[in-house]
Each structure stands twice: as C-alpha cells, then as structure tokens.
Amino acid sequence: MTTMSMIKALNEGLRRVLEDQPKSLVMGEDVGRLGGVFRVTDGLQKDFGSDRIIDTPLAESGIIGTAIGLALRGYRPICEIQFDGFVYPAFDQLVSQLAKIPNRSGGRVRLPVVVRIPYGGGIGAIEHHSESPEAYFAHTAGLKVVTCSNPNDAYWMIQQAAAGDDPVIFFEPKRRYHSKDDVDTESAGLDLYRARTLREGRTATLIAYGPTVDVAVNAAAAAAEEGTDLEVIDLRSLSPIDWEPLFASVRKTGRAVVVHEAPGNIGVGAEVAARLSEECFYSLESPVLRVTGYDVPYPASRLEDDYLPNLDRVLDAVDRSLEY
C-alpha cells in the first residue's frame, strides 16, 4: 500500500500505461510542458518525450478527431479535456464518430480512445469549469462511461480503461483531486465496470458516484450515530451500470436514495430510480428518492455550497424515505 492523492494516483496510472503500451500516447491542452492545469500529467513529457505527450492547440474537436485518426492507425490515445465545460465543441466527434465507427464497421474497426474529463464543482471556478455532463455520454450507445471516487480506483481504472479496445469517457471528480488514501499498486481487485459496496447496511441504500461518494459515506456515518444503518454503493461505471448489486441491496433495505452533482432532470439518478422501481417494485417500502444539483446553470462560486448535494440534504432524503 502507498498513500497518494488522486492526482498522483492518476499520474502513476498513466505512467504505467505508457510503459506497458508502446502505442499509447497522451494528448491535450497543456498536458506536456505544464503537466496539465491540475498537474495530472506532470513529468510525463520529460520521461516519455513530446511525441507521446503532446501539447495540442485549444481545439477540443480537433483533439478528439485527431485521436480517432490515430486509433484507426493502431495507436491508443488518451485525451485530456481540460475542463468539463470545454467538452461541448468536441461533442459531434464524440457521439457521431467515436461512438459510431466500431458499429458502422460491423466491429471490424476498434477505437481504443480514452477521454479524460475533470468534472464537477467545489473548486470555486468560473462558468464552464464546474459542469457535470456525464448523462450526455451515458445516453450515447457506443461509449463506456466511468468515474473514480478515490485514489485507488483512479490508479487502477485509468489503466483498465486504457487497456480495453472500446472508447471510454473517464470522468475525474476535480474536488477530490487532492484527497489522499491508500493505493494498492499490486492488485486492482475489481473490474472496471463493477459497482462497489462501501458500507453494509439494512435500513436504506445510498447510491452515489464520483464526487458525491464521500458525501454519501459521511452521511451514512452520521446516520449510524442515530441508529440508522445505511448501505453505501459507489456506481463507478455509469455506462454500463452494474445493476445486480443495486437490485440486491434495495431488495434487502427496501429504500434507496441516489446522490449526484448533476441536475436531477433526466440525469443518471433518474435512470437508476426507474430501473429500481421496475426491478424491485415489490421490495420497495418507499419511492426511490434523488439528491442532486438543481435544474439551473451551475451558479457563481459563492453560491455553489448551496447548489451541491451535502450531508444534510442526503440525511433529509433518508428521513423522508423512512416516513413512508
């Protein structure tokens, strides 16, 4: 075990990918000499050269389009979109080309492209720097969508994403970048597309991913002090979703609360709530509730603490669930 921040864990994971896969490369705005605005790629260009750690122009559509061309020629690009809100100029390349070419070719063409996107709020940033666009991509057939919530997952999941032959949108919760935890550098322990149960419980199930996993864990700890036993599940993969652990948990507890930063309207939580209602209807003791960001543009930094799901909002949802 080694203690690392999430930034360091991602850096070390990328380093292992570059060492193990000669055709892999990293490309994006300021990823080379600067080491990325969050320093996730710090030192990689010095060690692997500017032909593998490539500083690109400020052109997200060009970054993804070039990565698709490189993948068609046998390379394995790992792209960085500098901030979540910058991904939209690349949307056409992502959903019309990257997601579609393998199917368009009848499976003869594979596109092993990873697109890293720092996402979410909590860092006091300006407009376009605190978005949560994961639902757009989870809705798009042909793309895998995953998100880490801790350094150990960050270290292993980036390697697993880069090892596959499918396009993967890899969301990194930026407000968790500096969180530190133990990283097992010898064993991943879990497949990329599997959910993880972080805490066992019998009263209700909290389902979260990315930046809100820590909120859910803290809420469960606070609830335990009052005698409420909450189970906590980290989705990790948003497309595909690992449904069986969710079904098993809700059939046991009879109640579920889904937590995420993105707006609630037609978000990942809406899909989770719908599927749980379909599959666990006769086990549910209350409706599946959601604690999400509000259905408004992400607010100015001085208001973001009121926008983001927090411990009190999660516990309030649990209380409402228990009132049924």
Last residue of a domain, one of 183, 212, 244: 183
CA pair distance 261, 84, nearest whole angstrom: 13
DSSP secondary structure letter of residue 104:
H
- Both 224 and 272 in a single domain? yes
Q: Are residues 102 and 34 in the same domain?
A: yes
Within-domain flag for 243? yes
Q: Both 164 and 201 in a single domain? A: no
- For helices 268-279 and 243-253, angle between their N-to-C axes, nearest 10 degrees: 60
- Strand ranges (E), the chain: 2-5, 24-28, 53-55, 76-80, 114-119, 144-147, 168-173, 180-183, 196-199, 204-208, 230-234, 237-239, 256-263, 289-293
pTM over 0.85: yes
Number of C-beta neighbours around residue 306 at 10 A: 9
Number of domains in the chain: 2
Rounded to the nearest 10 degrees, the angle between the axes of helix 311-322 and helix 213-224 is 60
Residue 160 vs residues 112, 168, 180, 235, 258: alpha-carbon distances, Å: 11, 10, 21, 16, 26
119 and 252 within one domain? no
Q: Report yes or no: 150 and 179 within 8 Å, Cβ to Cβ.
A: yes
Q: What residues of the chain score a pLDDT lower than 70?
A: none
Chain position carrying tokens 């997200």? 60
In angstroms, the CA 215 to CA 132 distance is 16
Same domain, 131 and 54: yes
Looking at the domain assignment, is residue 317 inside a domain? yes
Judgement on whether residues 168 and 302 belong to the same structural domain of the protein: no
Order across the sheet with 168-173: list the strands: 53-55, 24-28, 76-80, 114-119, 168-173, 144-147, 237-239
Statement to judge: residues 166 and 278 lie in one domain:
no
CA–CA distance, 86 with 28 (Å, rounded to integer):
12
Strand partners, 181: 4
Q: Among 129, 139, 178, 260, which one carries the catalytic annotation?
A: 129
d(CA 311, CA 317): 10
Q: Which two tokens stand for residue 168?
A: 């993967």
pLDDT score at 188: 86
Domain boundaries, position 265:
196-323
188 located within any domain? no
- Looking at 183, 211, 244, the residue that finishes a domain is 183
Does residue 245 lie in a domain region? yes
- Establish whether 128 is a catalytic residue: no
Instruction: Please tell me whether residues 154 and 227 are part of one structural domain.
Output: no
In a domain, 189, yes or no: no
Q: Are residues 49 and 8 in the same domain?
A: yes
Amino acid 300: pLDDT:
93
Nearest to 252 by CA among 205, 322, 197, 314: 205
Same domain, 132 and 204: no
- Domain with residue 205: its CATH number is 3.40.50.920
Say whether both 163 and 221 belong to one domain.
Answer: no
Strand 180-183 vs strand 2-5: parallel, antiparallel, or unpaired?
A: antiparallel
Between CA 309 and CA 179 the distance in angstroms is: 18
Domain CATH for 39: 3.40.50.970
Q: Is there a domain that residue 246 lies in?
A: yes
28 plus 50 within the same structural domain = yes
* Domain closes at, from 183, 205, 239: 183
Ramachandran category for residue 4: left, alpha or beta (phi over 0 → left; psi -120 to 50 → alpha): beta
- What is d(CA 22, CA 100) in angstroms, rounded to the nearest whole number? 26
Domain contains 191: no
Q: Would you say residue 190 lies in a domain?
A: no
